[in-house]
Amino acid sequence: MSERGRYGLIAAFDSAEALVEATRRAHAKGYRRMDAYSPMPIEGLGELVGCGEHEKGRVSWFALAGGVFGGCCAYALQYTSTTLGWYFLSGGKPANSWPDFIIVTFEMTVLFATFGAVFGMLWLNGFPKLYHPVFNVERFARASSDEFFLCIEERDEKFDIEKTRAFLEQFKPLEIVEVAK
Amino acid sequence: MNSRVERDKPPLMPPDLDLTSISDRLVNIVVKNKTPRSWFVATAFFVFLTLVYLFSISWVFKTGVGLFGLNIPVAWEFPIASTIWWIGIAHAGTLISGVLLLTRQNWRPAIARFAEAMAMFAIIFAGAYPLIHLGRPWFFYWLMPYPNTQGLWPNWKSPLIWDFFAITSYMLYTACFLYLDLLPDFATMRDRAKHRISRIFYGIMALGWRNSARHWARFDRANVILAAISAPIVVSVTGTISLDLAVTIVPGYHFTIFPAYFVAGALYSGFATVILIAVPFRSMFGLQDLITPRHIDYIAKIMLGFVLIVDYSYMCEIWTAFYSGAPYYYGVYWNRWFGFYAPVYWTTYFLNIVVPQLMWFKRVRRSIPVMFVIAMIADLGMWLERYFIVVTSTNRDYMPSAWLPKLPTGWDFAVLLGSIGGFCLLLFIFIRVVPLISMHDMRKLITRKKGDVETSQ
């Protein structure tokens, strides 16, 4: 163990079912500070590690806020620049000819909704974050192709190195490793 | 019954494909396997075409757009026809990555990645064309609203401004969607790359993605939101471009059917381009078992659906022209049928109405060489359609004294071929840097398949 201390215990599994089972049991046992890693999204796994509907909903709210912001700004820009600014008489239309403003408003709405969803997701996930303790585990490189990991962190109230290790053992993991900070 | 199902539905991927082998195969194409010689030959050729492109647009910038075969009244020809064509090609990529995601099509993952890349690069060349056509491209920023000392603002009632906003937002949207889809795959590449420099590159691009369930939950939500946005984007961008034409009072442009008609044509040519990209890549990198004739079959069905809408629009347009009672509209059609551009018109009709009917037959849809030819014909037919719409309408407007047919020049062809070469070059470089099939989507599909088998037993 490095002098920086311990981040937690990580267990490697060879199937999604084993990971889901272990995470569910860990959640039932009262572990909260933990994270599950899988090479592809698994439905319902997020809820067990504290990223449920409410948390996902925040991404949607970012998208909505982005869309509303983009749309309002686009319309306001067109409205103010033609009414207060330079009025270009075209086709005898009034300064605030709203049907003509719809397209730019629409495009800016979807563009900023996109930005909201993507940058909101990145921000909520804490990116960019190029260093994380789990990367210290050699085997962890396989989390991005074919292995599944459950990491219980030391800061969890129920964490106890012996008991937690025994708890993880019962799911027959491929390996259990202590994660350096 | 069972054997019939098997014959009709050969598997979309080999049954023994698992999480380990899919990642190995797709990553190794980029980091380990020897690059096929065909890749070098093709890339050298595309580099040459790209140089032709750069040279000819530089010459056009230096001399002026007079080099193109355009003059009043035909102020728009190759550049605008090609813009509409390129942006249309982009639309299929967006539709595949968005709408097929929402409808959970299990044939989507194998083709989504390069379809998205195709969209990205097609938009670049679509967006470059109007700037080349401006004549003074260094003033392109006049299209943007910005506070200036003269207190001038863009004319918000002009379709050209709508166009600028539509194409720009579409480009940024596509870049976001493409990057979002690449993010988990960058993480896989980071974990598997051999060289230090490529590890650093992929590591930075992956932003620290670590496949946590929390990441995936938010990622999925963002993906679904972008997919939901994709449908209105697809409809709006080509729809807006068609307004450049439809909002004018030029006979032959002024049809209310244009937005829907252009979008259907866009998707038809875009799906054809997906076939044109999929077929060489599957042979080049040995992916015949992942991109199967069944995938091509599904794409062909979608192509057939959209081309029938296009054909319906042709008929609708002719009917409207004659029903309107306006002699200028008869004139447009008379000129299209028997005038200077009649060969273009009849070729288009043959390519877009007669040839696609072959796709009613399953044997044709499942035959890869035949579909490759049909896809080329589809792209050619759609390009000719855009060309005749843009040119035949303006070469004879209301003033007979201004009537003048114009023929394209060598510069027109040089820029068009060059843009195709540039597009292919970007695509060929792209697939050497990232996996050409989305690995995380394939892994999801594999686990979903496995789950189905287990529950059905």
Contact B190, B202 (CB under 8 A): yes
Give pLDDT, residue B2. 52
pLDDT in tens, B119-156: 999 999 999 999 999 888 899 898 889 888 888 888 89
- Number of neighbours of residue B68 by Cβ within 10 angstroms: 23
Q: CA of A16: which chain B residue's CA is closest?
A: B447
Size of interface A-B (CB pairs under 8 A): 200
Using a CB-CB cut-off of 8 Å, the residues of chain A touching B225 are 59-60, 63, 113-114, 117
Per-residue model confidence as pLDDT tens digits over B393-434: 888 878 888 888 888 999 999 999 999 999 999 999 999 999
Res. B452: pLDDT tops 70? no
**Residue A137 has which token pair?**
């585990």
- The amino acid present at A83, given as its one-letter code, is T
User: For residue B4, what is the enclosing H or E element?
Assistant: helix B2-8
Give the per-residue pLDDT at A2.
55
DSSP B10-23: --SS-TT--HHHHH
| pLDDT per position as a tens digit, B37-80 | 999 999 999 999 999 999 999 999 999 999 998 888 888 889 99
Choosing among A23, A136, A145, A179, which should be mutated to test the B contact, i.e. which has the most B CBs within 10 A?
A: A145
Put simply, the answer to whether A108 touches B191 (Cβ < 8 Å) is no
Among A36, A50, A91, the residue with its CB nearest the CB of B157 is A91
Place of tokens 């192509």: B303
Contacts of residue A131 in chain B, CB cutoff 8 Å?
Answer: 208
Any alpha helices (H) in A84-160, and if so which ranges? 98-124
Neighbours of B131 (CB within 10 A): 18
Q: Is A106 exposed, middle or buried (0-12, 13-18, 19+ CB in 10 A)?
A: buried
Q: Which residue in B12, B47, B74, B9 sits closest to B427, CA to CA?
A: B47
Per-chain mean pLDDT for chain B:
90
Q: Which residues on A lie below 8 Å from B101 (Cβ)?
A: none
8 Å CB contact between B350 and B378 = no
Give B232's contacts in chain A (Cβ within 8 Å): 106, 110
What is the pLDDT averaged over residues B211-227?
93
- Of residues B167 and B9, which shows the higher confidence score? B167
- Chain B: closest CA distance from residue A163 (Å): 24
Q: What is the pLDDT along chain A (181 residues), one digit of tens a residue?
A: 556 788 988 999 988 888 999 999 999 888 888 899 999 898 888 888 888 888 889 999 999 999 999 999 999 999 999 888 888 888 888 888 899 999 999 999 999 999 999 999 999 998 888 999 989 888 898 888 889 999 998 888 888 888 888 888 888 889 888 888 8
Helix, strand, or coil here: B213? helix
Give long-range contacts, CB 8 A cutoff, 24+ apart: B347-353: B347/B381, B347/B384, B348/B381, B348/B384, B348/B385, B348/B388, B349/B314, B351/B377, B351/B378, B351/B380, B351/B381, B351/B384, B352/B307, B352/B310, B352/B311, B352/B314, B352/B378, B352/B381, B352/B382, B352/B385, B353/B311, B353/B314
For residue B1, what pLDDT band results from cuts at 50, 70 and 90?
very low
Residue of B24, B150, B153, B167 for testing the chain A interface, max A β-carbons within 10 Å: B153
d(CA B1, CA A6): 60
